[in-house]
Amino acid sequence: MEQPELTVGDLGELKLLKEVILPDVSSSALPGDDCAHLDIGNSRLLWSMDPCPTPVANWFGKATPEVWGCYTAAINLSDIASSGGKPLGMLVSLEMPDTTPVSFVRGFQRGLMESLTNANARLFGGNVKSARRFSATGTIIGSPACRSVTRSINGTEFSVYLIGKTGGFWTSVVANHFAWQSVPESLQRHLDRSLCFPVPQVEAGQRLSYLPFEVACMDCSDGAANAIYQLGSTNNLDVILERDIKWNLPGEFVNILNSQSMLIENACFNFGDWQLACLVPKDHEVIFEEQLREFTVTYLGHAFTGSGEVMVDDGRKLLPGRLNQNFQQGYNSIESVEDLVDVFMRTPIFA
C-alpha cells in the first residue's frame, strides 16, 4: 500500500528548517540565525525578512492600520536586535485589494514609520501590488553595532536571561476576551499598548554587541519558551529554569490573570512581548546585569553541557509539542480567540 506523502505539518517548522531549507543557506553566521550575516568588502551587513503576522488585536477590533504598520516593522527590527545590530532601513512589499481605502495605507505608513523612527531606521522603498487580500512583507538591512551576535556560543556553563517586559500581551488578551471589568483608564491604555504596539529590543541588542564577552541571543517573536529551547538545542545545552522566576509583572496584571485562573508562566513564556533570550557565560553574570541595568532583565535559570533538554527545577519538562511553531497548531493555525486562549494560556508548557 502506498504511503501518504510527508507534509510540512508532519515535520513542523523547526524540523522543516533544519532538514530541508537551512542546509542550503550560505552566510558567515550559522544557518538558522535570526539574520544573515554578510561580508561586503571591508564591512558586514545583517539582513532579514519577515511577513507581517495578523495581529491578535484583529480579533478584538483593535487592529488599526497603524497596528499593522507597527507589526511589519517590529518583526523585522527584532531580528536585527537579536543579532546585536543597528538597523539601517527596510523595504516593504504591500499587496492589497483595489478597494482598499487610501486612509488605510496612510495609517499603515504612520505605524510603520513611527516604529522605524524610534529605532533610528529609514524606509528605503519597496513595492505595491493589487491582490485579493492585504499583506505586508518587510526586508531589513542593518550592520553590527560592534561585534556580531548569533545563537551560537562556546562554553560549558551559562546563565539564561530575558531582556524586555513580560506578560503584558497575554494579560491584555485575557482582559479583552473576558471583558474584565473595572479597568482604570490608565491600565486600559497600558494593556492596549502591550497588545497593539510591540517594542523590539533594538537598543538592548546593540548593547549586547558592545559587551566585553560573547553572548548567544535569539529574538522571542515565537515566544520565550521557543527561543530558550532553540538556544539549548543549537548549543547542546540542558537548561534548568527556576520555578519561582521574579517576573516583572504589575500586580494589576497578576490580578487579571488570576481572575480567570490563567497560568502566569504561560503569559510570560509565550509569544507577544518581543523580548530577547540570552545565554551569558556564568562568570560574567554581574557584568551583564550591570551593563543592561537600564533595561528590564529577568534571570530565568542556568544551562550546562547536555543534549538540549529544557526543564524547571521542580522536575517539570518543557514539552516540545507545546512550542509555538508554524504547521503544527501554532498561532498562524488558530482560528478563534477561544482556541488561542486554550492553546496558549490553558495548556501547560511544562509537565
Model confidence at 31: pLDDT above 50: no
Q: How confident is the model at residue 41 (pLDDT cuts 50, 70, 90)?
A: confident
How does pLDDT run across 326-337, given as a tens digit for each residue? 776 678 888 899
How does pLDDT run across 112-121, given as a tens digit for each residue? 999 999 999 9
The C-alpha atoms of residue 208 and residue 153 are separated, in whole angstroms, by 14
| Distant-in-sequence, close-in-space partners of 291: CB < 8 Å, separation ≥ 6 | 207, 210, 211
Is-contact 215 288, C-beta < 8 A?
yes
CA 10, 15, 18, 19: dihedral to nearest 10 degrees? -30
Lowest mean pLDDT among 13-27, 52-66, 78-92, 270-284: 13-27
How does pLDDT run across 290-319, given as a tens digit for each residue? 999 999 999 999 999 999 999 999 999 999
Q: In what order do the strands lie in the sheet with 36-40?
A: 36-40, 43-51, 135-144, 85-96, 122-130
Is-contact 175 55, C-beta < 8 A?
no
Lowest mean pLDDT among 23-32, 62-71, 74-83, 133-142: 23-32
The C-alpha atoms of residue 217 and residue 75 are separated, in whole angstroms, by 16
Is-contact 194 275, C-beta < 8 A?
no
The predicted structure's pLDDT at residue 1: 67
Model confidence at 29: pLDDT above 80: no
Residues across the chain: 351
Where are the alpha helices (H) located in the chain, listed in sequence order? 8-11, 13-16, 65-82, 102-118, 168-177, 185-196, 202-209, 224-234, 251-259, 264-269, 285-291, 337-341
Is-contact 145 209, C-beta < 8 A?
yes
The predicted structure's pLDDT at residue 337: 92
The C-alpha atoms of residue 245 and residue 264 are separated, in whole angstroms, by 10
| Distant-in-sequence, close-in-space partners of 258: CB < 8 Å, separation ≥ 6 | 264
Model confidence at 152: pLDDT above 50: yes
DSSP state of 84: T
Model confidence at 21: pLDDT above 70: no
Q: How confident is the model at residue 201 (pLDDT cuts 50, 70, 90)?
A: very high
Lowest mean pLDDT among 6-10, 210-214, 314-318: 6-10
Q: Which domains does the chain have, with CATH numbers?
A: 25-144 (3.30.1330.10), 157-346 (3.90.650.10)
Q: Judge if pTM exceeds 0.85.
A: yes
In this structure, the number of other CB atoms found within 10 A of the CB of residue 329 comes to 16
Phi, psi angles (nearest 5°) of residue 274: 60, 45
How does pLDDT run across 162-174, given as a tens digit for each residue? 999 999 999 999 9
The predicted structure's pLDDT at residue 298: 98
- The two beta strands, 135-144 and 237-241, are unpaired
